[in-house]
Structure 1
Amino acid sequence: MTVMKRLSALLVAAILVSLFAPLCSSALDELTLDIKAAILMNSETGEVIYSKDSEKPYHIAETAVVMTALLAFEAAARGDVSLSDTVTASAEALEGIPEDAETQKIQPGEKMSLESLLYCALVCSAADACNVIAQYISGDLDTFIKLMNDRAAELGCKNTRFVNANGVENNEQFSSARDLALIASAAAGHDKFMEICNTVTIEVTETNLSAIRLLDNSNYLIRPDYPRYYYSYACGIKNGYSETGGHCLISAVNVDGIYVVSVTLGGQLAAADNGYYEIRSFTETRKLFKWFFLNYSYRDIISPIEPIVEVPIALAEGTDTVVARVQEGLSMFLPNDLKLSETFKREITIYSQQEGAEKLKAPISEGTVLGEMTVSFNGETYGPFTLVANTDVQVSKLELMRANLSSLMKNPLVSIIFWVVIIVIVLYIAFVIQYNRRRAKKRREFNKLNENSVTTIPRKKP
């Protein structure tokens, strides 16, 4: 029985390895997504974790609304507007919107808060709300569109062109997965943006010309009532569809307070095994996130509590070195099996060890800057990171005295005086010794003379 149990255990292990080994060993290079373009990006650093044709421009449908919302939130952050502002929709802002576009049937003269308009734009892609927002922020649509393109350039977008604020299909409007990830990463830095775009359903308060509006989000990745697409870790951000661009989706997951942003472009309807048709922008985004969590983790490359190098220090009490650490650490999303010590190369510079530099001396305080370090990986260099003392180092009084004396003796004048004094002292000692010897000799001669005198004088008889 024992042998059988062992064979059974080995068989189960072999099956598990055969199931998971191909995924773990090749997933990083061979993840297959049924989508035209995709990217996975660290929103804080811009680090690209996964990429598929991410630089190529595509039609992006209503995902363009993310830029419209970003500019509104940035204007609010500057104090130019407030989300509580009452905005009046103008006839000009509502002109030219195609009849088949998604709208909330906003009417000229209708008054809504800027926040309500952002809910309409982000939750259900309302083209009329986007135009009203654009006109309120910049005064007119043309100025706002220029602002969209200028901001895209500032963010480092290289393959993006906006011609409207609402994402209505236009052959002249396009972007790439990478560029949309940069835009979404900037927007994700605004908490209210993430709150709004992660809303599944909401009622927008009634206005002077409308009853309460019920907004329903069509981003099925965040909707538990769509289990075929729902992904519990997904956060927002925006989906869209056009005949030319197909299904597009910008999404994110929160990892230890950091948003990892995904973009999938050009998704199509595809037949599923159960007889249904699936929207590939949702299924492939979910697949991408699962792949990410299976293979990646947020790993410390260097940590502020890690001792980096021991730096020689003079005049210290009880030691001749001080430990240096980085002032701020570096963490990255990396494959779980990546060996950091073999792939990340460190280059350390200690200021006190540079040619012509003054040597490090005690006392020093914890946090004293000692040098800097850079880290290289895959052709990229990170840093420099400041190296500081890990602890206080007290001065040794004895070593300080020795050092002061040694320094003093290096002065030629002091050295001459010192040796003159030494010579004078030696001569004085020699003189005293010689003097004492002569005196002692005279005392002996005198005593001897007295003894002789006493012995030669005759005694008188009584």
Structure 2
Amino acid sequence: MSTMKKSRKFLAVLLTVCICITAVILPASAYEPDFEVPADEGVFLMSLDTGQVLYEQNADKQMAPASMTKVMSTIVALENCQDLGEMVTAPSYIYDEFVGINVSTAGISPGEQLSVKDLLYCMMLQSANEAASIIADHFGGSIESFAEMMNKKAAELGCTNTHFVNPHGLDADGHYTSPRDMATIAQYALGVNGFRDICTSTRYTLPQTNIREEQVVVTTILMQDEYRGGDLYNPYIKGIKTGTTDNAGRCFVSTYQRDGENLLLVVMNAPNTDDDDNQAFTQTQQFYDWAHNNFDLETLVEKGSVLHEVKIKQSFDTDVLILTAASDVTLLLPSGADKTAVQYVATLDDEEIVAPVKKGDKIGKMTLKLGGETIGEVDMLAEKDVKGSTILKIADAIHGALSSTAAKIILVLVILFILVYILFVIRSINLQKKKGKIKRHKKYKL
């Protein structure tokens, strides 16, 4: 397995764990948005800085993702592409499924030649469905095979409510994901080389092809388009992908960067109204405003700070080992929250700490709790080197050997044996002395 594949697998596992971290538990009112959220809507709002979940609704419900599907298609393409400049010819068969239906496209014609990079921008910015299918055919050999690659990646990321049957997201039986899984996929995508540049762009110029002249494609994310967004424009919105179908409703997965805070939000199945009012955009704006106005990033533990002291054995240097924080612990807390209410619970990796110990050795972890719920963890490290003592090690070994019941019984028996032996020796000596006196007495008598 290559180093790159190993790092991707590790990142996937890490992301899965981060998504599952429990949010700060405080009174429910602190987590209730001050606006109405339709009951059928799927929502997952999390902090990219801490992994905390700030709000969720129907987070694990299987829902149609519409064009948010293209996030996974882009992941698979980027991770299997050796050269973004590689030219691809649009096969004619991929257009068959679009006949007679109204779908978003970039106007790519059968036989037209574009680079992989061009196709990815068409797919992610203008939500071009034919571009997604061309990508699928190129990297998978067929739509079905590429969908299998997408599902394999979803499983690798730990998604349990996701299954894809196409690369573009048009409604189909067996094609679904959940808000939580979509957040996992999007967060992973942000770490894939090249993805962030694509999804945060608002326009891209397609060069002249073998069929048409130069053309500009534009983003469907009006919230990040300063020129076309109007009142929807929000300078803090940074990607990622919209989606709309009759079955999926209005969908939008996005990120938000403001004042050092980084949030990720998935909105699925927002009302699909007939007018131009995109309810997914409206909900996104409301959720981000609510989160920004009601939560603050607080550093509860600083890297290197003293967290705990423990006794250490078998060293003449010291009998106390100081433990420090391996990293910062920064969490989103409701504005005005009492940080003194946070409890710090230390857990050691071993029952006894025995020298030698090296500076930086992991000794245990500190768990931060609020209201009985875990809100964060940090490893505790040895502050300095502590040398061991061979003499104390031997003494402890002897003490340990003699601490068992069997050893104590044996020791008592040995002591008794020694005492009996000593008494026997003394008695023997006395007898010898007595015999000597008798012999001398007889001699004098003769």
TM-score, scaled to structure 2? 0.72
Is the 1:269–1:277 Cα contact (8 Å) retained in structure 2? no
SS at match of 1:253: strand
The answer as to whether partners of 2:342 and 2:368 remain within 8 angstroms in 1 is no
Q: Is the 8 A contact 1:39 1:262 kept in 2?
A: yes
Matches within 5 A, 1:312-461: 312-313=311-312, 320-349=319-348, 351=350, 354=351, 357=352, 360-361=354-355, 365-376=358-369, 385-392=378-385
SS of match in other structure, 2:107: coil
Secondary structure of the corresponding residue to residue 218 of structure 1: coil
**Cα deviation, residue 246, structure 1:** 2.0
| Whole-Å separation in 2 of the counterparts to 1:124 and 1:264 | 19
Q: 1:325 offset after TM fit, Å?
A: 1.0
Displacement of 1:227 in angstroms is: 3.2
- For residues 380-409 of structure 1, the C-alpha deviation after alignment (integer angstroms, 9 at most, x for no partner) is 6688754222235689xxxx89979989x9
Contact 1:94–1:132 (CA under 8 A) maintained in structure 2 = no
**What is the aligned counterpart of 1:64 among 50, 65, 69?**
69
Aligned to 1:147: 149
User: Relative to 1, partners in 2 of residues 1:74 and 1:33: Cα closer, same or farther, differing over 3 Å?
Assistant: farther
Answer yes or no: is the 8 Å Cα contact 1:325–1:389 preserved in 2: yes
TM alignment of 1:23-172, pairs within 5 A = 26-35=29-38, 36-43=41-48, 47-76=52-81, 81-98=82-99, 99-172=101-174
Contact 1:124-1:216 at 8 Å conserved across structures: yes
CA distance in 1, matches of 2:173, 2:395: 81
Question: 2:296 maps to what in 1?
Answer: 297
The aligned counterpart of 1:442 is none
Question: Does the Cα contact within 8 Å between 1:235 and 1:252 map onto a contact in 2?
Answer: yes
The aligned amino acid for 2:382 is A
The equivalent of 1:252 in structure 2 is 255
Distance 2:392 2:163 in 1: 68
Q: Is the 8 A contact 1:43 1:182 kept in 2?
A: no
2:190 is the counterpart of 1:188: yes
**Deviation of the 1:123 alpha carbon:** 0.1
Per-residue deviation, 1:203: 0.9
Displacement of 1:263 in angstroms is 1.0
The secondary structure found in structure 2 opposite 1:71 is helix
The Cα of 1:285 is off from its aligned counterpart by 0.2
Cα RMSD over matched residues?
Answer: 3.6
Are the aligned partners of 1:57 and 1:175 in contact in 2 as well (CA < 8 Å)? yes
Moved more, 117-126 or 221-230: 221-230
Q: Which residue of 1 aligns with 2:241?
A: 238
- Residues 353-398 of structure 1 deviation map (CA, whole Å, 9 limit, x = unaligned): x3xx4x645x755324444444456776688754222235689xxx
Q: 1 CA distance for matches of 2:372 and 2:118?
A: 46
Query: 8 Å contact 1:203–1:214 — kept in the other structure?
Result: yes
Q: 1:206 to 1:341 in 2, by over 3 A?
A: same
Distance 1:338 1:344, change over 3 A: farther
Please report how far the alpha carbon of residue 256 of structure 1 lies from its aligned counterpart in structure 2 after TM superposition. 8.1
- Bigger mean CA deviation after superposition, 67-76 or 157-166: 157-166
In structure 2, do the counterparts of structure 1 residues 406 and 161 end up closer, same or farther at CA, with 3 Å as the change threshold?
Answer: closer
CA contact (8 A) 2:327 2:378 kept: yes
Of 215-224 and 44-53, the range deviating more from structure 2 = 44-53
Aligned to 1:456: none
1:206 and 2:208 correspond: yes
Cα separation, partners in 2 of 1:154 and 1:293, compared to 1, 3 Å: same
> What amino acid maps onto 2:269 in structure 1?
G
8 Å Cα contact 2:309/2:321 also seen in 1: yes
Paired residues of 1:221 and 1:230 also in contact (CA < 8 A): yes
Q: Which moved more, 1:281-290 or 1:117-126?
A: 281-290
Amino acid at match of 1:134: A
**Amino acid in the other structure paired with 1:95:** D
Greater relative contact order structure (CA < 8 Å, 6+ sep): 2
| CA-to-aligned-CA distance 1:234-285 (integer Å, 9 cap, x gap) | 11001122223222111112368885221112223679xxxx9632111110
- Change in Cα spacing, 1:265 to 1:371, as seen in structure 2 (3 Å) is closer
CA distance in 1, matches of 2:67, 2:172: 11
- Are 1:222 and 1:231, in contact at CA under 8 Å, matched by a contact in 2? yes
Unaligned runs of at least 5 residues, structure 1: 1-23, 411-462
CA distance in 2, matches of 1:337, 1:50: 19
Q: Which amino acid aligns with 2:109?
A: Q
User: Structure 1 residues 75 and 381 mapped into 2: Cα distance closer, same or farther (>3 Å)?
Assistant: farther
Amino acid at match of 2:70: V
Partner of 1:19: none
How many percent of aligned residue pairs carry the same amino acid?
27
Of stretches 194-203 and 82-91 in structure 1, the one that deviates more from structure 2 is: 82-91
SS at 2:268 equivalent: strand
SS at match of 1:285: helix
Structure 2: 5+ residue runs without aligned partners? 1-26, 400-446
Residues 160-180 of structure 1, C-alpha deviations (whole Å, 9 max, x = no match): 332211122335433222221
Q: Are the structure 2 counterparts of residues 187 and 371 from structure 1 closer, same or farther at C-alpha, using a change threshold of 3 Å?
A: closer
Count of residue pairs the alignment pairs up: 370
Change over 3 Å in CA distance of 1:255–1:322 after alignment to 2: farther
Structure 1 window deviating more from structure 2 (48-57 vs 165-174): it is 165-174
